[in-house]
Amino acid sequence: MPGYDHAKHTILNAGLMEEGWQLHCAASAIAGLVTAVVTAPVDTIKSRVMNQKAEAAAAAAQGKPAPRLYGGVVDAAVHMVRAEGPMALYRGFFPNWLRIAPHTTISLMVFEGFRSAVGAKAM
């Protein structure tokens, strides 16, 4: 919401667009991008830690030793940045953005529609 609100007011204050569905769509798209940028590192780390547990369980089921690579979330982040560089936190960014952007755009457009339907003025 803060990304959407800030994008919307920045576009309005710059005189680039007027209040309407085009503005709502543009601000929603920007908010989706901001959401993807902010959540991508957390999502990547979470996926690595979760996959590690599944791989260890599969190896144990086969009677093979499978040492864990990461000791936890912070350890995973530090290990990834040291071994692969900071951009490792953004692996899979584009698919993550493709998942988040439509949801964000639709949700915020519906929000604006509801707000308009109840007679609330645009802020």
Does a structural domain hold residue 63? yes
8 A C-beta contact, residue 69 and residue 50? no
Report pLDDT digits (tens) over 54-70: 776 777 677 777 667 88
- What value does the mean pLDDT take over residues 113-121? 84
Report pLDDT digits (tens) over 75-84: 999 999 999 9
Report pLDDT digits (tens) over 96-105: 888 888 998 8
Does a structural domain hold residue 122? no
The pTM of the full predicted model, rounded to 2 decimals, is 0.73
| Alpha-helical runs (H) found in the chain | 2-13, 21-61, 73-84, 93-117
Does a structural domain hold residue 14? yes
Q: Which domain holds residue 37?
A: 2-117
Domain count, the chain: 1
Its sign, for the CA torsion 81, 85, 90, 95, is negative
Structure tokens at 29: 């798209």
Examine the pLDDT at 123 and tell me if it is beyond 70.
no
Does a structural domain hold residue 123? no
Q: Comparing 29-38, 44-53, 72-81, which segment has the lowest mean pLDDT?
A: 44-53
What pLDDT, on a 0 to 100 scale, did the predictor assign at position 122? 66
Q: Comparing 9-23, 51-65, 100-114, which segment has the lowest mean pLDDT?
A: 51-65
